[in-house]
């Protein structure tokens, strides 16, 4: 590139030259027996810095993709770039491709004004998978209007266009690798002469065979002023194609070509530039050199993507939901899941944490129980209670290697495939149908025996096996503590609510009714015989004791004298407890009179006679 950009340093310090771009960040990671290759070509006729006779670009160019018959294509990405704001629609082998991402950088050239450069990206996996190994031709990339209307590109010889296809493929004979693809658009030039890029989300377990690749634009073989590429502070090169003082010089490492004009598709071995245990790589690009007298000469370099291939020895935890069950009207989800360790070459340790989220809110945690070997799995089960503030319609997310805050404790081959989701719908509690209460006579202490099945006459059902009785709504919802003998049910409170569940094709219908114990009129005998024959030995008023617990019983002799006062704890056994005569001894045979005050507003004082016999 022949851009003779001469700057006086004192003037340069006063200039404000904005440069815009998109930081290069992780786009995708691939793990397993994987590798990558790249093809591409320039649309420049010649290197634009060495030949100033052209401005326009070629209508098309081609490149050959050759993969072995045992390779399986996982992904293929098309990049195209050039001068201007961008052409978002191109063709590959006459098939239309539209940009999914568009990146732009700007350079304010002191002589030619603000100039914009672009790169577009599109996932063309379906195209490359269909066509396979063949010749690929890119066409319909048109920047003619940009080059015609903005003379600055041709004036400073930054008129360029080119393209590349990255192919990630799988092959059983390959070692287990981790491929990390980073992309964006960043620029260096005479004004911004240095760029440091930190790429993370990598895990260096073994540096054997490690490599790093780049796609860059606008580099010139004729401009090598201060141009370096450094990895972790080490100068890297690939001579004679890529010398250490001219890394971006229109070359293609995959074809060993130096005619990829104003583009660089290069790959470097970096096993001596990284260390086992590294989780990030520092990449530093420089350009620009003071050639004397305060004059700076530099290349303009636009970095489009970075790709790393590292041999990995780590587990890869993934998780699936096998089955989820939510009982009707319940906020409890019973979950079966499986944790896998596939596409890995190291065991997944025991106690690997698992987090469970409902609409991104942590609702449960668990761990793996044992070590999971390579290509192994472990099944688990958990019951999750969904908080009341989570709607009935929600997304359940399971994340393995997550301590509950989104962070993990296990270094994995792939840190982006640890979760799975399922959309769940809880069934809300329906309107409960109220049935008439059952009233029964108190048999003591406000209890009675009830036939709960008598309420079934009010319910439309076909099969008695679909009917269940419960003492609480919680028991019904959890389907526990079913009343086993509803025909002879002894109430435990007064009143008491009983619930009926009628199971149907959807969720069950629910009914409720009250059991009410009432005090029925007592039955008063007209005689008794306290002779210790164990039969009728006391004045046994049926339906009185432990029912009318506050009652008072007065017994009088034929002269009207009070001889006995009883209550719920004192029964008349034919003896007097009032007066001096016959106290605590059996009274004479004869007729006696009673006054029974039930102390119940529903009943008047009862009076009558009783005959005491021997």
Which CATH number belongs to the domain containing residue 387 in this structure?
Answer: 2.60.40.10
Averaged pLDDT for residues 143-150: 96
- Quick one: pLDDT at residue 222? 84
- Residue 467 shares a structural domain with residue 534: no
Residue 2 covered by a domain: no
Residue 305 covered by a domain: yes
Is residue 19 scored above 70 in pLDDT? no
- Residue 299 shares a structural domain with residue 341: no
Is residue 313 scored above 80 in pLDDT? no
Averaged pLDDT for residues 175-187: 90
Answer whether 0.85 is exceeded by the pTM. no
Q: Is the dihedral of CA 303, 304, 308, 309 positive or negative?
A: negative
Is residue 13 scored above 50 in pLDDT? no
Determine what percent of the chain is predicted with pLDDT higher than 70: 95
- Residue 511 shares a structural domain with residue 526: no
- Quick one: pLDDT at residue 15? 28
Domain endpoint, select from 395, 425, 455: 425
Averaged pLDDT for residues 310-325: 89
- Structure confidence by residue, pLDDT tens digits, 255-306: 999 999 999 999 998 888 888 778 888 888 888 887 777 777 888 999 999 9
> Which range of residues forms the domain containing residue 583?
522-614
- Residue 290 shares a structural domain with residue 325: no
Query: At 389, is the pLDDT very low, low, confident or very high (cuts 50, 70, 90)?
Result: very high
- Residue 348 shares a structural domain with residue 393: yes
Closest to 146 measured CA to CA, from 124, 117, 171: 117
Question: How many structural domains does the chain have?
Answer: 4
Task: Specify the DSSP class assigned to residue 588.
Answer: P
- Quick one: pLDDT at residue 199? 79
- Quick one: pLDDT at residue 16? 29
- Structure confidence by residue, pLDDT tens digits, 327-354: 878 889 999 999 999 978 789 999 999 9
- Residue 294 shares a structural domain with residue 340: no
Residue 3 covered by a domain: no
Is residue 5 scored above 50 in pLDDT? no
- Residue 243 shares a structural domain with residue 295: yes
- Residue 408 shares a structural domain with residue 469: no
Binning the chain into helix, strand and coil, the percentages to the nearest 5 are: 5, 45, 50
Give the CATH number, domain containing residue 507: 2.60.40
- Quick one: pLDDT at residue 18? 33
Closest to 40 measured CA to CA, from 213, 281, 201: 213
Query: At 581, is the pLDDT very low, low, confident or very high (cuts 50, 70, 90)?
Result: low
Q: Is the dihedral of CA 281, 287, 292, 295 positive or negative?
A: negative
List, in sequence order, every beta strand (DSSP E) within 252-375.
263-269, 281-286, 289-290, 296-297, 301-311, 317-325, 332-341, 353-358, 361-367
Residue 4 covered by a domain: no
- Residue 447 shares a structural domain with residue 550: no
| Mean pLDDT score of the chain | 90
Closest to 364 measured CA to CA, from 403, 308, 320, 420: 403
- Quick one: pLDDT at residue 3? 28
């Amino acid at each position: 590139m022949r851009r003779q950009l001469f700057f006086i340093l004192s003037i340069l310090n006063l200039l404000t030259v904005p440069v815009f771009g998109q930081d290069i960040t992780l786009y995708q990671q691939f793990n397993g027996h994987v590798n990558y290759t790249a093809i591409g070509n320039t649309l420049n006729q010649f290197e634009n810095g060495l030949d100033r006779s052209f401005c326009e670009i070629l209508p098309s160019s081609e490149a050959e993709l050759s993969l072995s018959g045992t390779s399986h294509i996982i992904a293929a990405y098309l990049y195209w770039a050039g001068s201007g704001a961008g052409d978002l629609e191109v063709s590959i082998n006459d098939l239309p491709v539209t940009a999914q991402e568009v990146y732009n950088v700007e350079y304010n050239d002191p002589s030619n004004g603000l100039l914009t450069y672009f790169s577009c990206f599109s996932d063309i996996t379906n195209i490359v998978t269909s066509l396979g190994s063949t010749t690929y031709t890119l066409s319909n990339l048109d920047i003619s209007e940009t080059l015609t209307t903005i003379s600055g590109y041709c004036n400073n010889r930054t008129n360029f266009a080119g393209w590349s296809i990255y192919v990630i493929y799988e092959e059983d004979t390959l070692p287990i690798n981790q491929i990390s693809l980073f992309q964006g658009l960043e620029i260096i030039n005479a004004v911004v002469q240095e760029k440091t890029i930190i790429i993370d989300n990598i895990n260096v377990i073994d540096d054997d065979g490690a490599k790093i690749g780049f796609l860059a634009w606008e580099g010139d073989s004729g401009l090598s002023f201060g141009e370096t590429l450094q990895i972790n502070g080490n100068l890297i090169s690939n001579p004679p194609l890529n010398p250490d003082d001219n890394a971006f010089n229109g070359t293609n490492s995959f074809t060993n070509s130096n005619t990829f004009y104003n583009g660089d598709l290069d790959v470097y071995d970096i096993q001596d530039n990284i260390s086992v245990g590294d989780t990030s790589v520092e990449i530093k690009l420089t350009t620009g050199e003071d050639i004397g007298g305060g004059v700076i000469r530099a290349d303009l370099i636009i970095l489009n993507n970075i790709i790393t291939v590292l041999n990995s020895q780590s587990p890869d935890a993934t998780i699936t939901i096998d089955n989820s069950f939510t009982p009707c009207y319940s906020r409890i989800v019973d979950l079966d899941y499986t944790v896998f360790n596939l596409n890995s070459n190291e065991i997944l340790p025991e106690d690997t944490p698992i987090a469970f989220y409902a609409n991104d809110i942590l609702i449960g945690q668990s761990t793996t129980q044992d070590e999971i070997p390579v290509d192994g799995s472990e099944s688990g089960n958990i019951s999750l209670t969904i908080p009341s503030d989570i709607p009935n319609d929600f997304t359940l997310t399971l994340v393995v290697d997550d301590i509950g805050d989104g962070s993990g404790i296990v270094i994995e081959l792939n840190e982006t495939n640890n979760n799975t989701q399922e959309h769940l719908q809880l069934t809300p509690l329906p309107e409960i149908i109220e049935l008439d209460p059952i009233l029964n006579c108190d048999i003591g202490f406000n209890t009675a025996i009830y036939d709960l099945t008598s309420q079934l006459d009010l319910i439309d059902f076909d099969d008695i096996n679909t009917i269940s009785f419960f003492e609480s709504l919680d028991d019904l919802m959890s389907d526990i503590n079913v009343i086993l003998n509803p025909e002879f049910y002894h109430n435990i409170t007064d009143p008491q609510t009983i619930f009926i569940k009628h199971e149907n094709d959807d969720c069950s219908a629910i009914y409720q009714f009250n059991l009410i114990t009432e005090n029925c009129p007592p039955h008063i005998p007209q005689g008794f015989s306290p002779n210790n024959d164990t039969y009728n030995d006391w004045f046994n008023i049926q339906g009185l004791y432990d029912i009318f617990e506050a009652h008072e019983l007065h017994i009088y002799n034929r002269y009207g004298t009070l001889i006995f006062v009883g209550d719920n704890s004192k029964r008349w056994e034919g003896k007097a407890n009032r007066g001096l005569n016959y106290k605590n001894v059996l009274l004479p045979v004869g007729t006696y009179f009673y006054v029974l005050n039930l102390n119940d507003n529903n009943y008047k004082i009862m009076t009558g006679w009783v005959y005491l016999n021997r």
